[in-house]
Chains A and B, each alone.
Chain A
Amino acid sequence: MALKLLHTSDVHIGLKFASHEDVAPTLIAARFECLERLIQRASKEKCDLVVIAGDLFDRVGVPKSDVLRVAQILAEFEGHLVTVLPGNHDYVDPDRDAPWKWLKEKAGDNLLILDRPGPVDLSPHGVPAVLYPCPCSAKHSEKNAVGWVADVDRNQAIPHHIGIAHGSLEGVSPDFAQNYFPMKVGQLRALPVDLWLLGHTHIPFPQNPATLDRIFFAGTPEPDGFDCAHKGTAWIHEFDDQGALRSTLLTAGRFAFRHDEVKVENADDVESLRSRYQDPASKQLLLKLKVSGRLPDEVHASLAALPAELKKHLFWLQFDDSAVTRQITKSDIDGAFTEGSFPHRLLTRLAQHDADQEALQEAYRLIQEVRR
């Protein structure tokens, strides 16, 4: 029996973007909009099921207004069911109403919160699948939550058996302290499910799925920082009547975060940099631009105007040209200062050693400041 589902995770509703104070409201709103787009896409694709594999919310103390808005968005799904697994950021906390109790209260009939380990037969909801949810009960854990699945007897009458878990996966997610519900590929493969839908790692996995791949990370659908270089992703997984799986990676995000490091050596490089971000996509780009290199004095002076020019084409810019130095050669020093004068001697001495480049720059700047 065929089954089509949309798999996402790590939406992190409620993320504050404190480091981007000036654009934080837009970025915060973008995460809701992204979720909305995903639900619309799932409806349009006629998915039976939407699976959110953890960290729908950024923290357990997310404001109620955010939860209610999410409930409203999820209720718009036109398929059978939206299932939400608590991840390590929005873990199950029995002492809190937020977010799960609020969400349960306000969500429609088409929402199932997978807050308990144990097989969940979706047949009553019209979905020919059994889910094996492995919710997180803490932010950190050295032990993953999938262990219970090993003791389950599969109901052979139901065609699809899908595990849903949240945490790091050895070889895929960096988790050096083994603090985030660490799982291993071998362990997941040994468990009696047909497909693992995972959350936690913000980068989608696998990059190029093979026919027999059965372990998937959705990646975050809306990039949330500079360690997330993709454009926001989610999967559509489709089982045909013969049980064959086809997985399609969607691009889901609006904003992109990028950290560019550009080396400039001359005026042409600066010009190239000036025109580099003029494509329409840059309007949604948050860019950390680190420029390095040595420029002739007159070119270096032109750098000052560059950030303002770039900002016109970018959504957000952090411009760092501290690694760009004036090209101060002996000829420059000879041209600007009297031979034997203090500035000439000082700058000449500093220019002799590469290690003194920053000192040379500072000295040059200070000399200009105190020069009459």
Chain B
Amino acid sequence: MKVHQIRLCPFAGLANTTVKFGPALTVVSGPNEAGKSTILHALESVLFVRTDLTPARAQQFAEPFMPAGGGDTVLVEVEFSHEAKHYKLCRQWGASPSARLELPDGSVVSGEDQITERLADLLVATPGTFRSVLMARQAGLAHTLERLEEGEGGQTVRDLSNLLTEAVQETDGVAVDDFIGELDSQLKKYFSRWDKKHGAPEGGRGVENRWRREPGDVLCAWYEKEEVKRDRDNAIAIEKQIDELNGRIAGAARLHAELEQYLAANRDAVDSVAARRALDAQETALSLQKAKYAQANTDWPVLVRDLEQLDAQKAQLVALVDELKAEHEAATVFEGKKGLVAQLARATVRKQELIAAEGKLRATPALTSEQLKQIAATASQVRELQTRLSAGRLKARLTAKEALATELQIGVEKPVEKKIATGTTIDIEAAGAFKLDSSKWSLEVQSGSVDFESIAAELASTSSRLANLLQGGQASDEEDARRRSAAYEEACRAVATAKKILDDELAGQTFEELQAKAGGNAAPATTRPLADVRADLVKAQGDLDVNSKEAMAKRGRLTELEKTYGDKDKLFDKVVETVAAHKDLDKERAQLAPLPAGIGDLDAYVDEYRKKEKASKSCGDELKRLEIEKAGIVVPDDSAEELDVRYRELQEVFESVLRRANAIERIRTVADEVQKESGAADRSTELKASLEHYISRLTEERYRRIEMSDTLPSGFVRNDGAILGASLLSTGTRDVLGLALRLTMGSYFLDDDDGFLVMDDPLVDLDPARRAAASEVLNEYAKEHQVIVFTCQPTHAEVLGGTTVELE
């Protein structure tokens, strides 16, 4: 960019002024207050100050530049070229802010954002660079140079060695060392005594053991919030302690009240226990006496009645004993004849058995064995004859053609009537002969092999004899005869056997003789065994003894009662007296404090009372102790809730301080990185050559070179080879150095681009020779980059030459 002209219409003290600039060097001269600074401000404003400022900012900006003669608007118009193309920029601030940029093709850009964007392309350096370097009044450089003058010796050399780098870095008037120093100071201010790693005070020193010397802001904020936190926690603990104590006090008070209530309710009852015990003892004695009287009263009539009964019983027993004694005597005699009696008894039985056998024999019909033999022989004869007849067996079949009435006789049997119906057939079987006999005819059939008639006659005769024999024996047939014969023989044998047994029992004597020996039939039928009688006698005698003893005892008891009480009436009087005494005791007891219901064991009751009495005292003591403990608690003025609010506020403050401190720390880190990566150092050779060029030209080659240390300059090398530090340079030489630096930096920032350099009285402290040299150098420089010089020195303008603008 090259500036062709600027119009101020109005701007500060210039109402309508146009200044035209040459393409190379332009010198704007004029006395003080002529408007040089105004033009410089106007140029800076039109290029870099937007018109869409906030009202406050707009006012702040425009107010110093408002027209001296009145008005509410300032306007600046600048025409410039870039790469041979023409532009016009107009900005107006104040009541009606506006901006417009006319482009080479005649079009207009009016939005600030677009204008700013276009200008960024047209300006070869940033606005900051223009403000600090290309349009500056050497403020930043002056500062750098001032520092050259401050140091001595090695210090100066060190400064000089950083000169170029710092010149670039510090063009904005920010001394890096100062800035770093400020950062370190801030870091110390924030982090002093703060352990960043652990996020806690160094050495873990909390609020109770706080750092007193040089605590940083972070630590102070931490202490402040922790102190309130401690107070808050303390308040909570105290509140809880009071809650806990109140709970215990309430519990103890409740228990104490319960115990006291019990004691009050039972005190009189417990106090009455001794009297109650005395009454109880009296009552016990009285009850014993009463029981004794009652027993005597009960026993007396019973004893009398019992004695009467015992006496009656005794008489009976005496009689029974006598009776049993007699029986015992008889039984003893009976026991002496016991063998003969038994023999007689047995013989009597045997005799009766003989009589019975004889009776049975008599009842049995006599059929001797001889008779039986005859019967058997005859019966045998009959059976033989019958067998002979059966040998001539006949069989006949008769069929009646008409009804037939006949008699049929088979053998020797009796004829039987037989009616045969027409057409009926009958079979006839017979032994030896049969005979049919009807009214019209008779048929007799006989076997031809036997003599039926003679056999039949013999059979009849033999059968008749048999019948007689059976009749004699009262038998019906042979078999019956056999049975009867056997029975008769049996009866005979029974009689013989009975007689023999009797004879054996009698042992050669007659029954009557035995009977006489045994006492005949006089033995008493009722005599019991001697042992039974004896047992009964012993028992009866025992009973009698018991009776006697019992009677004696009862009589003794009765005698004792009579002796003790006299008589029954007197005994009754004593019973009445005892009952009255009992009632008196009850009255006394009723006057005592009543015992609670359900109290059985007085000792246990009193023990329980004493235990509760002790517990109540202990509880009362505990209650007092707790109340004293509670009274000793110092309650904080502020509640836990209020302290918590405060704590949370201070926590926020602490976090804010810590955040800021961390930001400073971060800046420090980045600052270190930036310092290490100095961009200027990368181009130090180029800068060095440029600076050497300008120093050599401006000092008329008195100084030609810069001694380098690594990549940075460490001193100036004179023509004679001496190396001089900055402190050894003359004032004029140092001014030359300032100008050389300015030009070097101008070249550095503008590089090969179009651009302009504004300088304010650059020749002011130079002697005429160096002024001429400087003028020459500036004119040369202006061939590369447009240079605008403001000066209030007409002679300087004259020396400089170039396009001249004179302000009045």
Contact = CB atoms under 8 A, between A and B. Distances in A.
Contacts of A322: 656
A267 B52 CA distance: 12
B302 interface: no
Contact of B239 (A140, A331, A340, A362): A140
A362 B660 contact: yes
Interface in A270-317: 296, 298-299, 301-302
B179 A341 contact: no
A333 B630 CA distance: 66
Interface stretch (B92-100, B246-254, B609-617, B709-717): B246-254
B674 A346 contact: yes
How many B residues are at the interface, by size bracket?
Answer: 35 or more
Contacts of B567: none
Interface residues of B: mostly helix, strand, loop or mixed?
helix
B154 interface: no
Nearest to A337: B128
B749 A341 contact: no
A19 B143 contact: no
How many A residues are at the interface, by size bracket?
Answer: 35 or more
Given A333-B128, A370-B174, A340 B670 contact: no
A219 to B, nearest CB: 16
A19 B645 contact: yes
Interface stretch (B62-70, B191-199, B543-551, B634-642): B634-642
B209 interface: no
B110 to A, nearest CB: 19
B24 to A, nearest CB: 24
A58 B640 CA distance: 11
Interface in B664-713: 664, 666-667, 670-671, 673-675, 677, 679-680
A366 B179 contact: yes
A76 interface: no
Contact of A298 (B53, B116, B129, B131): B53
Given A225-B645, A371-B173, A338 B749 contact: yes
Given A58-B639, A140-B243, A343-B172, A356 B129 contact: no
B249 A366 contact: no
A72 interface: no
Task: Identify which of B120, B127, B169, B667 gathers the most chain A CB atoms within 10 Å of its CB.
Answer: B667
A174 to B, nearest CB: 13
A341 B667 contact: no
A15 B641 CA distance: 10
A301 B60 CA distance: 12
B577 interface: no
B179 A370 contact: yes
Contact of B126 (A139, A334, A346): A334
A241 interface: no
Contact of A341 (B53, B128, B637): B128
Contact of B133 (A16, A91, A338, A342): A338
Nearest to B670: A349
Contacts of A361: 663
A95 B174 contact: no
A194 to B, nearest CB: 30
B48 A335 contact: yes
Which 10 A-B pairs rank lowest in CB-CB distance, beginning with the nearest? A298-B57, A334-B126, A138-B243, A342-B169, A337-B128, A359-B666, A338-B132, A359-B663, A335-B127, A358-B663
Given A299-B54, A337-B172, 5 more contacts: A337-B132, A338-B128, A338-B131, A358-B659, A359-B666
27 contacts: A16-B642, A17-B642, A18-B646, A19-B645, A19-B649, A95-B249, A296-B54, A298-B57, A301-B57, A338-B126, A338-B129, A338-B133, A338-B168, A340-B749, A341-B172, A342-B170, A342-B174, A342-B179, A345-B677, A346-B667, A358-B659, A358-B662, A359-B670, A362-B664, A370-B182, A371-B174, A372-B143
